[in-house]
Structure 1
Amino acid sequence: MSISDLYTSGKHKQEMGHFASIVKVAIVDGIITDGEQQLLDRTAKKLNISEEEYKAILKHPEKYPLNPPISYDESIERLYRVTKMIFADGHVDKNQVILLRKTAIALSIPLDNVEKVADEAIHLVMNNNDLDDFTAAIKNVNAV
């Protein structure tokens, strides 16, 4: 096995863990709405999640740990995707916000900034900010 194969498989495991965290947000209320399903389908395609992996993750998302990316910008992009899932069904659930905060911690957001960053993430997505604006605003809020 070459180094590039190892990197690819490690990167793919990261993507599967990220997809599982998005699934957890989608199923926290016990149902997956049409909007959530569409976002899951798009995200799975973007992350190169196979149909078999997709089904396995949907069945048992807790089996896939969130492995944070090395890049800060990638971490913010993951936070963006998870936050978008919260709004896919048109409302924010308390349990979804709790999962968002846990995801932010897993993505290496400092504990003393987690609530502030999560609140800002929700505000930004609620106001239809794109990824670039979201990234800039989160970096500003999370400045240490």
Structure 2
Amino acid sequence: MLANGAKLEYKKKSDASDAYKELQGLKEIPDCGIEPEKVENTGLKDKNKQYENGIGDLGDMTYKFKYENKSATSTYRVLRQAQENGDVLSFKETLSDGTTTEYDAEVSVKRTGGGVNGVVEVETKMTICSDLKVTDPS
């Protein structure tokens, strides 16, 4: 499946309405999933090391957007303001097949550099503050 058609929406956790707002100019979505820590748990009578899965590490997820800063609702301004305020936002990523992943995160935003014929982008790193809620398409 192609990433084409994917979208990322956000809302403030304090927002009483359930209306997500789409972040415009999404160019790239990150890997998404839980990687449990491998924990060694070998007994004294075991002939080989024994392992089990520990707690998961979601890591950081980085999204890339087109750089645009012409209005107060531009992705760059919205996310930069959330970073400056230390806001935890709720996010909903929707793939073209209808699969959604919802989570809460703090954001870290940077504008990338550029050169001749180089595109300036906005990179947003998500520090996940909740579990992932994945909903399969119906």
TM-score of the aligned structures, taking structure 2 as reference length: 0.26
Normalization by structure 1: what TM-score? 0.25
More helix by share: 1
Q: Which has the larger radius of gyration?
A: 2
Q: Which has the higher strand share?
A: 2
